[in-house]
Amino acid sequence: MQEIVSDSEAMTLALGARLAGMLPSGSVVALVGDLGCGKTVLARGIARGLGIAEAVTSPTFTVAQEYRRPNGEYLYHLDMYRITDENAALAFGIDEFLFQPNAITLVEWPEQIAGLLARPSLRTIRFRHLDENRRSITFENWPAID
Ligand SMILES: Nc1ncnc2c1ncn2[C@@H]1O[C@H](COP(=O)(O)OP(=O)(O)O)[C@@H](O)[C@H]1O
Ligand SMILES: [Mg+2]
């Protein structure tokens, strides 16, 4: 399993922008890790890399944020923190945001809806706090990142 240690918010942003180029349309990426470990920062970097100029804010309260890419496709940024279980997610309409051929979807707190994400194509990124500005970032089901 590949690990990248990020030393700064700027490095995590740049990593996200690099990862954007590795995500085919239809991809769903699970962003796993504690509060404040950089999931939203990485999502912001991925959005930049996908050509999205709009400010990317945390979807903690809105649950889902939708961004239009210059190519006409979408980036969906989901935060399941306040969604207690899969039934709540389905009632919210989560299906419209997952595994859509014309979208890339990033999911914070994916553990909450693990059953809905269980597909072989799911890509996972795990974050761990090392210290104030360093984060361990590991990748599952990704091609090699150079
Ligand atoms: N290496 C790093 N990568 C990402 N964020 C970092 C890093 N070092 C410090 N930070 C800070 O950690 C916080 C991460 O916040 P955020 O991305 O919203 O977390 P999460 O979405 O995982 O709850 C930000 O305040 C950011 O400035
Ligand atoms: Mg967040």
* CATH code assigned at 15: 3.40.50.300
Q: Is residue 52 part of a domain?
A: yes
Q: Is residue 142 part of a domain?
A: no
Domain count, the chain: 1
| 40 alpha carbon – ligand 1 mean position (Å) | 7
Residuewise pLDDT in 10s, the chain (146 residues)? 899 999 999 999 999 999 999 999 999 999 999 999 999 999 999 999 999 999 999 998 899 999 999 999 999 999 999 998 999 999 999 999 999 999 999 999 999 999 999 999 999 999 999 999 999 999 999 999 98
Q: Is residue 29 part of a domain?
A: yes
Look at residue 52 in the predicted model and tell me its pLDDT: 98
Backbone angles phi, psi at 122, to 5 degrees: -60, 130
Domain enclosing residue 90, as ranges:
2-131
Q: Is residue 136 part of a domain?
A: no
Cross-strand partners of 106: 29, 77
Give, for ligand 1, the residue of 3, 5, 9 to mutate: max count of ligand atoms closer than 8 Å to Cβ. Answer: 9
Q: Is residue 144 part of a domain?
A: no
Residues within 6 Å of ligand 1 by CB: 6-9, 11-12, 33, 35-41, 58, 108, 133-135
> Please, are residues 30 and 110 in contact by the beta-carbon 8 Å criterion?
yes
From start to end of the chain, where are the E strands?
A: 2-6, 28-32, 64-68, 74-79, 103-108, 123-131, 134-140
Q: Take atom 10 of ligand 1 and give the residue whose Cα is closest.
A: 9
Look at residue 118 in the predicted model and tell me its pLDDT: 97
Strand 134-140 versus strand 2-6 pairing type: antiparallel
**pTM score, two decimals?**
0.97
